[in-house]
Chains A and B, each alone.
Chain A
């Protein structure tokens, strides 16, 4: 059963997930965001790079599959660090934990810390997502 994000305790881990950045998912993302720069760079370098924000977006999607984000939730801030380029076809394993939980006015302030790593365990992505959820 999915758990409401505001019901998580500080320090609580999300279920670890992994996903493959397959060519269909990446192409769908690139088309949706109309990214022209990444395909040019990838072609110039002869690599099938994945847009770094695609790795982040798909990591968040996977992590949130077991967590309910209320309709009134607001994405307040975001930090990402992209540690190395990721290529189409790679499998990314993601972990996340609730790093902060507090109340401000009529809102929960929740900070989710995420990490993404490749199959060898090398980190490819780190991030912090701040979400405001109505109480």
Chain B
């Protein structure tokens, strides 16, 4: 099981999708939703919410582990880069370590979110108990 790949997902961002997430989450930071403001920042344009990228990671982990992800899942990540609107991002990961317990097995997975240039935007570890 160690080394097994998680089912990767690709999502193409757009300003419309970022705006939709802002409405759903209530996070209207102008770096996400105000192109004129964002153009004056070092990013040069709007970027997706970090929590949107984490939602994509969570979708992958739900697909991989089902209810075990919802009940006992842990996620620890660092944001390393920004996802710009119109980029395609891919979330993926692999099982890094397994610990057999008396009743349950614990898995640690390295997870990441990459942009279409292969740059790491989010990296970290997820843990589940099966």
Contact = CB atoms under 8 A, between A and B. Distances in A.
Do they bind each other?
A: yes
A61 interface: yes
A33 B71 contact: no
A47 B28 CA distance: 31
Given A49-B70, A77-B77, A84-B71, A29 B25 contact: yes
Contact of A37 (B17, B20, B59, B124): B59
Contacts of A56: 51, 54
A41 B50 CA distance: 24
Interface in B33-60: 37, 41, 50-52, 54-56, 58-60
Contacts of A23: none
Interface string A49-63: 101111011101100
Nearest to B125: A79
A81 B74 contact: yes
B75 interface: yes
Interface string A106-127: 0000000000000000000000
Given A81-B73, A85-B67, A33 B55 contact: yes
Nearest to A82: B73
A33 B70 CA distance: 17
B116 interface: no
Contacts, number: 118
Given A31-B20, A78-B54, A41 B79 contact: no
B76 interface: yes
Given A51-B55, A85-B67, A28 B24 contact: yes
Contact of A29 (B24, B29, B73): B24
A74 B56 CA distance: 19
Given A57-B24, A74-B79, 10 more contacts: A33-B56, A35-B55, A49-B70, A51-B59, A53-B54, A56-B51, A58-B25, A75-B50, A78-B50, A79-B74
17 contacts: A25-B24, A33-B21, A33-B59, A41-B70, A49-B70, A51-B59, A51-B62, A56-B51, A57-B24, A57-B55, A60-B27, A77-B76, A79-B74, A81-B74, A82-B73, A84-B70, A84-B71
Q: Which 5 A-B pairs have the closest CB atoms?
A: A61-B26, A33-B55, A32-B24, A37-B63, A85-B70
